[in-house]
Amino acid sequence: MATTESRGPAIDVGSLSGLHWVGIAAALITAAVHIRLGVGGLPLPLRISFLLAGFGFLGAVVLVLLDYRRRAVYAVGIPFTLVQIVLWYVFNFAGGGKSFPADVGTLGAVDKVAQVVLIAVLVLLLRR
């Protein structure tokens, strides 16, 4: 009697290019920054939004690794990441008392560079 083995989702790294890995690294960096800030001393509503954003980036990485609707992940990732950049600028510089670029800070600079790289990678992947 034949037995069937049910397999769950499997990671598919064979179909990932160097460009994918750059995007994954950028997404992991921005996820780490958001989660770090989310568990930090921010007011509760901001903590929750930072944690959700961080886990959103992590979830997207998992979906790409599983080869689950990658093009949709790329398409959603572009505006998701753009909104992160715009909100960061509005809350910190347009509506806050900080001066751009003098008050960006190391963590902010690392995060925004990672996000700009991520957007560029997502656009390139989507155009393939």
Give 50-113 as a DSSP string: HHHHHHHHHHHHHHHHTTSSHHHHHHHHHHHHHHHHHHHHIIIIISSS--TTTT--HHHHHHHH
CA 55 to chain CA centroid, nearest Å: 8
Cα 55 from Cα 31, distance rounded (Å): 7
Instruction: Give the CA distances from residue 114 to residues 35, 82, 84, 96, 120, in Å, rounded to whole numbers and listed in that order.
Output: 15, 12, 12, 23, 10
What is the domain partition of the chain in residue ranges? 41-125
CA distance 6 to 75: 31
For range 46-59, the mean pLDDT = 94
Structure tokens at 20: 């994918």
- CB 62, CB 113: distance < 8 Å: no
Q: What pLDDT was estimated at residue 91?
A: 83
- pLDDT tens, 1-33? 555 555 667 888 889 999 999 999 999 999 999
pTM of the model: 0.88
65-124: pLDDT as tens digits: 999 999 999 999 999 999 999 998 888 888 767 777 667 888 889 999 999 999 999 999
Alpha carbon distance 55, 39 (integer Å) = 12
